[in-house]
Amino acid sequence: MAASECTRVRLWRWRSSPLRRRSDVIEGWVVLCGWLFALVGAVWGGMLAADAVVASAERQRAESREVSAVLVKDAEDPGASRVTTDHLVWATVRWTDTEGATRTDEARVPPHTRAGSRVDVWTDRHGAVVNEPLSENEMLLHSIAGGVLAAAGAGGVVLGCTWVVRLGLERRRLEQWAAEWERMDTPWGWKTG
């Protein structure tokens, strides 16, 4: 079977042609604007998300401080079925805050740590135990990942809306063609279709 020898005509929706319809011109503008808005929205959304991730990490870093705590009781090994990726276990620790009050909370410590051992934990401004703040490299990685995901989401939403509008225009065009075919008669007086 021979391949079709049709030449592709670029930008046909804007060229004057007796076969061009108003819906073709509208569809051309919808596609052009959709791609432009998707590009601008993706860049803008990605930058906003990356800035938000960096601001959140810096705020967490500013509000956190490292304190030296004492393990209240031995940290037990959780067993092979409950090992986490960082190989830390939950145990009760005690420390003195900046106001001189003694606090007790659960923190993640290495397994088999004996009671009375000193461990470093991170606390927030209210004295609750929190995760260690992100390092500079982790912050960079999180901001890049957040920016890429937000950019993909923003661009995808705009392109999805463009696709829905194009489907509506296509449906309208097919309805118009069907109505025109109904109005056409064959040379023998029969209706087509």
Q: Return the H-helix or E-strand segment holding 165.
A: helix 136-183
Alpha carbon separation from 159 to 23, 31, 164, 169, 185 (Å, rounded): 19, 9, 9, 15, 41
Residue 39 DSSP code: H
Q: Would you say domain 66-132 falls under CATH 2.40.50?
A: yes
Q: Which two tokens stand for residue 124?
A: 């927030």
Q: Considering only CA atoms, which of 88, 125, 123 is closest in space to residue 104? A: 123
Q: What is the mean pLDDT of the chain?
A: 83
Average pLDDT estimate for 162-183: 87
Q: Evaluate if residue 26 carries a pLDDT over 80.
A: yes
Contact 142, 49 (CB under 8 A): no
- Prediction pTM value: 0.68
Q: Evaluate if residue 184 carries a pLDDT over 90.
A: no
Contact 119, 71 (CB under 8 A): yes
pLDDT one-digit tens code per residue, 3-22:
667 777 666 666 677 777 78
Domain boundaries, the chain: 38-64+133-158, 66-132
Q: Which two tokens stand for residue 21?
A: 């319809």
